[in-house]
Structure 1
Amino acid sequence: MPPHPAPAPQPTPEPTDPLTAELVVDVAAAVTPAISPDGRLVAHGVVANGGKGGRPHGSIWVTAADGSTAPHRLTDGTARDLAPKWAPDSASLFFTSDREEQGTAQLQRIRLDGGEDIAEAEALTSWRGGICDHLPLFDGRTVALLAEDEPTAEDERREAECDDAKVWGRHLPPTRLRLLDLETGVLRTVDGLGDRHVVGLVQRPDGGPLAVLSWSTPELDPGVMTAELHVVDPHSASVHDLGPVGIEAQSPAWWHHDGVWHLAHLAVTPEHLVGGLAVIDTVPPASGPAVGHRDLTAGMSVSPSELVQVADGPPLALFADGLDTALYRLHPESLRFHQVSAAPGMLAGLTASRGGETVALLASTAYEPKNVHAGPTGGPLVRLSDTMPELRRIRWGVQERLHYQASDGVQLDGLLILPAGRSRDNGPFPLVTLVHGGPYYRYADEFALNAIDCGQWLATAGYAVFLPNPRGGSGHGHEFAAVVAGAVGGDEWTDILSGIDLLVAQGVADPERLGISGWSHGGFIAAWAAARTDRFKAAMMGAGISDWGMQAGTGDWGLLDAALGGSTGWEGPGPHVHDRHSPISYASGIRTPVLILHGEEDTNVPLGQAIHFHRALRHFGVEHELVVYPREGHGLDERAHQLDALRRIRAWYDRWL
């Protein structure tokens, strides 16, 4: 097996600096690596707090892929400079920035001459609708852009006069495919896609057509269930429709074998609304819709998470494998993926040189935050960025891997973080269980520290923290993930209890001092725990679901949430399946104090879920607190809100545990 990325340092044995909420919130994070087509350079973004309005800002950096030079900052970080992508000749770098108008991204370009002197960024667009995404094409003269329509004079009049009634179904503007001529600055729209909402694209490596993914509407429901593939000629702008593809389709990738071009993409395993992602492949015909879509990952016990094309050969893919991540390559003869290398913890953001011989990505292990690494496809990888060196001065809790059995014998995994400076021999400890969202997500053996994934924040305050990977998540194949369909709060819940019982039996967890937290689907589980047992002395429900029927009717994901909850409210007078899976149905029995945190503008899990639960708890006299964050969606972006959440969560457990 090729070597792993450079080993992460172990926890600092003696404390040097205290962990403050400000340090958690203000650390800089490396994002979106992009390796140049010639494999020599790697660009990446760095996101940090402190921008205008307390929101994060971004800067663009570049360094040698072999680590021979230190990272060099190309932009000053006063705006949101993000999404670096290379020109095909590796001589210039494109990125998006809102430096001209806050909140409206435009395409920028920086030319590199191979030396230390870097030219100023030049603005390439002034599109009033803003640029959502971009792809430099292989001809070197064109950049494909995804952008909404510019507002018309009538749109501006209506906004100025508050004549802004929204007709549902037409209230969200679609993102259209547009082609920018770099020489003339002319931007033309590909009209053959009609009003479909474009969500992804990639160009065939020989400079041929674009593969384009689109939805019928920008709305998640039904958008993600109406995905179609198209082949677009970038010269004539002609469109060849390949027809429908899978739910949550993403990451199209061309590949070539025996004179035939294939087109693969990621999507939920066919014929399932809920389940693991799969790599789906087809051969685009010369005309008409594509047929013969094939699942290239059927039966695998690992879960594909990213798919990347290369010029000369089959695609590369990252696979979630339990607590770790592996890099795979498709074998063109067997049409099966074979492992190329593996790494402990989390790999993400895969990008490959044109020929696929060199890769760059983000890697994180137990005590090392995500940083950019690069090297040969088979390894070893060299760390190129070091955005958070100050974190090495903190004494962290020891992070252990857990492997255990569910009550029915299914093999499970997770993580345990011990209180900082303590060992198992010092137990039992107050234990907080942090449940991940999704549910199609996982905890990898990585370093995670933010207002939502706050395990080490609690560990430095004396708590043991359990991070379980119950059924419904990724990393163990499709069947493991599909179990929760129509049965949330079932096997996934008993999987979590089995882990807690193990930690109690081992003397790690004090059974009289148990807490539970989660965000999104994890927030649902936290509410479910309070509703189904009195074992927990405190709970934190972050942006969580209390009523699955309401969620199916009002949340962004609609029918996909109905597939999790088991039914919708419009199926008759009931009782409904979703009522059995909703914490609100059992509110009369809740005795656990509950802290409820929610973004006021959350459309994924609307604020009504929190208010509904709050009113039920108030009715039954349950100790609780509802905190609503203005301007926030499904997560927390503003610095002050992140600080408040960290302090409030810790104070809640200090009070009750």
Structure 2
Amino acid sequence: MARFALRFSRPAAFAFLVIGALAQAADLPKVPSIEQSLNFSAPGSVRISPDGQMVVYTAGFANWEDNEFRTQVWLAKAAGGAPLQLTQNAKGASAPQWSPDGKWISFVANRDGKKHIWLIAPQGGEAWQLTSGEAEVQAYEWSPDGKKIAFTSSGAESKTLKDRKEKYGEYEVVGGDYTYTHLYVAELPAEVGGKAKAEALTSGDGFTVNEFSWSPDSTRIAFSAPKDVDLSHGDTADIYVLNVKDKGLKKLVDAPGPDSNPHWSPDGKWIAYETANGEPFYYFKNSRLAAVSAEGGPIRLLTSNFDEEPSLIDWTDDGIWFSGLQKTAVTVFLLDPKQGTYRAAFGDARFLPGTPSFSKDRRWMAFTGSALDDFTEVYLSPVAPFEPKALTSYRDQYKEFRLATSEVISWKSKDDTVIEGVLIKPADFQAGKQYPLLVVIHGGPTGVDRPYRAADRYYPVEQFAAKGAIILRPNYRGSAGYGEEFRSLNVRNLGVGDAWDVLSGVDSLVAQGMVDPERVGCMGWSQGGYISAFLTTGSDRFKAISVGAGISDWMTYYVNTDIHPFTRQYLKATPWEDPEIYRKTSPITNIKQARTPTLIQHGGNDQRVPLPNAYELYQGLKDQGVEARLVVYKGFGHGINKPKQQRHVMEDNLAWFTKWIWGEGQ
């Protein structure tokens, strides 16, 4: 199969342009190449040992031979020293956890064609496979007593479906063919190396299981479950409790809007969870934390006065831990469930913490984190006072390079709304000099850009900066971290208000004398691709634009996407009820005004922003005589998640803007 499909009016010229752009990169200040960026590793999925003395985590890597991004499991000691790589299999390993007694580290690996749970001693040695069979493991969790592991799985393919395929071949009944995820439990074998026998705890087509957690006494499991896997039915997710011994099931929360991520109180009497609290417009409104008795009863709202989306972490003797965005920062809070009050525990604009994992005595915690303008590392800290110590040194991968710097700036949009963004400057930036400007727009719309470092993906920012550009990453209206009112500002104003925020950011930098107004480009993926498409048809400010998996027509999007509620909530109507709002906010409406050369990149199997959006924009631009290039990545969904294709996405963007912003290779 071809790696990608190209449609371009001058393919020969573009081929020379790619080669020329990459050759030019050799003469630039020393920055990571695109392939080096894709090879850089970063830590994730951190768990601290019960005694607080060791931390297990995953680190990603690119397997070019198999064209996959994978992770391996690593172990770091609290006392320091070089981390130890525990897993070596080329297919990788993920989701490490500690057994409650600290004797074993579990992880998920696919070594025989199915994802199963494996165990390895923290001292290393041979891992052994715990689960087996057709029930492939998705998520899992040890019981607190260490005797069982619960996991979710979609199980084996049903006989009915097998028979249907044999008789009729492959087909899908839309809205009818669902694969349900259910809970299983595996008891630990008596002997090391033995296999655990998995037993299904739930079954049928009444619901599909999402997040779950064990009760402190290991007798019950709380879980969240919508009625099926259709993302348009996410608002049906409710909270259930299951008795593991007799499989007795009780629904505790039955309310409109999604209820998710249950966690038990230390005494086993209460369950905390995240809830939309019946809010019909939950895509952009604040969620809440709530608690319900483990036996059922009235709901207690816990965070009514928290103006952001709280993410529940854990419930300990100290209280309920949750995290929340605060502009470009992430803060971890501690909530008193009796008083309903909370305080910031750690995390601010100077340090961005990930989700903490606590030791058994709750004195120590481990997490990934980033200091301001630094890379992500694995950290260890006392719970109080907060004194993070890095256990890894992934930043050393970059020490030979001259990297760009970043800072948070702000400006006023057309309607006087204050917008923040991250401004990235070349390493040799000089005040008073005019630079080309490239705007990189995040997705979501509830994404957020922060002044922290990471390897480039999709857009080669370091390459752009080394060529002498400054880069603006705007947190346009709708971005998370700035409160519910800000997230609601693009409701029935999608594209329109977002474009104000981008254009006013450009204007602000031009007014400061920092930007050459004749050399400005724009790019983005998903919602960032939609805003880029809106700008390519509605503005002549840019010399070139790149649209990644972007929406061009809300009507086309609405009837094809897998998340129909998104459009109905943000536009507050279907296209049949209010065609005018769909017209107003669609880039294709202004196609006859389009003048900007546009690169379009899209996954061939994208269900979130289906491929017809790309073809519609491409053909509209071609009909206006606008230079356009469409690249369809065959077999990919909304994200381009393999290293070879990501390499092409970045090289294509580098070549496109090298041509139109720097005038090279024409």
Q: TM-score, normalised by structure 2?
A: 0.89
CA shift for structure 1 position 229: 0.5
AA aligned opposite 2:461: G
Give the conservation status (yes or no) of the 8 Å contact 1:346–1:445: no
2:56 to 29, 35, 43: 43
The residue identity in structure 1 corresponding to 2:451 is D
Partner Cα distance (1:500, 1:345) in 2: 28
The match for 2:38 is: 25
> Which of 106, 112, 116 is the matching residue for 1:106?
116
The answer for the alignment partner of 1:62 in structure 2 is 75
Q: Which runs of 5+ in 1 are unaligned?
A: 1-14
Q: 1:245 to 1:520 in 2, by over 3 A?
A: farther
Query: What is the alpha-carbon distance in structure 2 between the residues aligned to residue 160 and residue 67 of structure 1?
Result: 59
Q: Conserved in 1, the CA contact under 8 Å of 2:104 and 2:121? A: yes
Secondary structure of the structure 1 residue equivalent to 2:399? helix
Residue 609 of structure 1 and its aligned partner are, at CA, apart by 1.1
Equivalent residue runs for 1:237-386 within 5 Å: 237-245=247-255, 247=257, 249-255=259-265, 260-265=269-274, 267=276, 270-284=279-293, 286-287=295-296, 290-294=297-301, 296-304=302-310, 306-343=311-348, 344=350, 346-378=352-384, 379-386=386-393
Give the Cα separation in 1 of the matches to 2:239 and 2:568: 26
What does residue 235 of structure 2 align with? 225
Which of 223, 227, 232 is residue 216 of structure 1 equivalent to?
Answer: 227
Task: Verify the 8 A CA contact 2:426 2:465 in the aligned structure 1.
Answer: yes
Distance 1:458 1:142, change over 3 A: same
Q: CA deviation at 1:192?
A: 6.5
* Structure 1 SS opposite 2:644: helix
Q: Distance in 2 between matches of 1:515 and 1:189?
A: 54
Partner of 2:9: none
Moved more, 443-452 or 430-439: 443-452
1:149 matched to 2:155: yes
> What SS class does the counterpart of residue 323 from structure 2 fall into?
strand
Cα pair 1:346 1:444 within 8 Å, conserved: no
Q: Counterpart of 2:111 in structure 1: which amino acid?
A: R
Q: Which amino acid aligns with 1:646?
A: M
Asked if the contact 1:486/1:567 (under 8 Å) is kept, the reply is: no
Cα deviation code 1:516-566 (max 9, x no counterpart):
111000000001111211111111100111111222221121112332244
Q: Which amino acid aligns with 2:378?
A: V
Question: Counterparts of 1:157 and 1:254 in 2: how far apart (Å)?
Answer: 42
Report the Cα offset of residue 70 of structure 1. 2.4
Alignment of 1:452-601 (within 5 A): 452=458, 454-571=460-577, 575-601=579-605
Q: Matches of 2:303 and 2:540 in 1, distance apart?
A: 42
Query: CA offsets per residue over residues 401-449 of structure 1, 9 Å max, x none?
Result: 2133334443332111112322333x21110111110001101221133
- Match among 368, 385, 398 for residue 405 of structure 2: 398
Letter in 2 for 1:312: D
Residue in 2 that maps onto 1:187 = 198
Instruction: Give the direction of change, closer, same or farther, for the CA distance of 1:212–1:45 in structure 2 (3 Å limit).
Output: same
C-alpha distance in structure 1 between counterparts of 2:467 and 2:278, whole Å: 42
Amino acid across the alignment from 1:599: G
The match for 1:97 is 109
Deviation at 1:16, TM superposition (A): 7.7
Q: Is the 8 A contact 2:320 2:337 kept in 1?
A: no
Q: Work out the CA distance in 2 between the residues paired with 1:634 and 1:92.
A: 37
Equivalent in the alignment of 1:10:
none
Counterpart of 1:202?
213
Q: Which amino acid aligns with 2:103?
A: A
- The structural deviation recorded for 1:593 is 0.8
Q: Determine if contact 2:185/2:201 at 8 Å carries over to the other structure.
A: yes
Using the alignment, how far apart are the partners of 2:521 and 2:228 within structure 1?
Answer: 41
The letter of the residue matching 1:99 is R
Contact 1:323 1:444 survives alignment (8 Å) = yes
- The structure-2 alpha-carbon separation of the partners of 1:521 and 1:272, relative to structure 1 and needing over 3 Å to count, comes to same
Kindly state the Cα deviation for residue 301 of structure 1 after the two structures are TM-superposed: 4.3
Q: Distance in 1 between matches of 2:583 and 2:441?
A: 22
Q: Tell whether the 8 Å contact from 2:287 to 2:308 is kept in structure 1 after alignment.
A: no
Give the aligned partner of residue 453 of structure 2.
447
Corresponding residue for 2:13? none
Q: How much identity, in percent, do the aligned residues show?
A: 25
Amino acid at match of 1:331: D
State whether residues 430 and 513 of structure 1, in contact with CA within 8 Å, keep that contact through their aligned partners in structure 2.
Answer: yes
List runs of 5+ in structure 2 lacking aligned partners. 1-27, 190-194, 662-666
Q: Does 1:636 align with 2:624?
A: no
Matches within 5 A, 1:172-183: 172-183=178-189
Question: CA–CA distance in 2 between the matches of 1:588 and 1:565?
Answer: 24
Aligned CA RMSD, in angstroms, stands at: 2.4
Whole-angstrom distance in 1 between the partners of 2:476 and 2:304: 21
Partner of 1:7: none
Going from structure 1 to structure 2, the CA distance change for 1:347 and 1:492 (only over 3 Å counts) comes to farther
Residues in 2 aligned to 1:368 and 1:21: alpha-carbon distance in whole angstroms: 19
Hey, what's the Cα distance between the residues in 2 that align with 1:39 and 1:245?
A: 39
Matched, 1:619 2:629: no
Matched, 1:387 2:397: no
Equivalent pair of 1:29/1:388 in contact (CA under 8 Å)? no
Structure 1 residues 307-316 or 224-233, which shifts more?
Answer: 307-316
Q: Summarize the Cα distance change of 1:45–1:637 in structure 2 as closer, same or farther, 3 Å threshold.
A: same
CA distance in structure 1 between the partners assigned to 2:377 and 2:435 by the alignment? 32
Letter in 1 for 2:412: Q
- Residue type at the aligned position of 2:517: P
* Residues in 1 aligned to 2:510 and 2:140: alpha-carbon distance in whole angstroms: 51
- State the distance in 2 between where 1:398 and 1:581 align: 35
* Aligned-residue offset at 1:453: 5.2
User: How big is the shift at 1:53?
Assistant: 2.7
Matched, 1:649 2:661: no
Distance 2:173 2:634 in 1: 25
- SS at 1:512 equivalent: strand
Please say if residues 517 and 541 of structure 1, whose CA atoms lie closer than 8 Å, have aligned partners that are also in contact.
Answer: yes
| Residue 582 (structure 1) shift | 0.6
Check conservation: 2:56, 2:73, Cα contact below 8 A: yes
Deviation at 1:271, TM superposition (A): 4.0
CA distance in 1 between counterparts of 2:470 and 2:478 reads: 24
SS where residue 293 of structure 2 aligns? coil
- Distance 1:654-1:268 versus aligned 2 partners, 3 A rule: farther
Q: 1:65-117: CA deviations, max 9, x gaps?
A: x342321111014113001112111221111111222xx311111133xxxx4
- For residues 27 and 136 of structure 1, the distance between their equivalents in structure 2, rounded to whole angstroms, comes to 32
Matched residue pairs, number?
628
- How big is each residue's C-alpha offset from its partner over 1:362-405, in whole Å with a ceiling of 9 and x where there is no partner? 21245422221121123111112233522121111121221333
- Corresponding residue of 2:246: 236
Change (3 A) 1:269 1:26: farther
- Residue 10 (structure 2) aligns with: none
1:632 to 1:194, Cα distance in 2 relative to 1, 3 A = closer
Change beyond 3 A, Cα 1:68–1:420:
closer
Are the structure 2 counterparts of residues 482 and 245 from structure 1 closer, same or farther at C-alpha, using a change threshold of 3 Å? farther
Amino acid at match of 1:404: W
How far apart in 1 are the matches of 2:337 and 2:580?
Answer: 47
CA 1:366–1:617: 2 relative to 1, 3 Å: farther
C-alpha separation between the residues in 1 aligned to 2:518 and 2:278? 42
Q: Would the aligned equivalents of 1:106 and 1:123 in 2 still touch at CA under 8 Å?
A: yes
Distance, in Å, in 1 between the alignment partners of 2:581 and 2:531 is 17
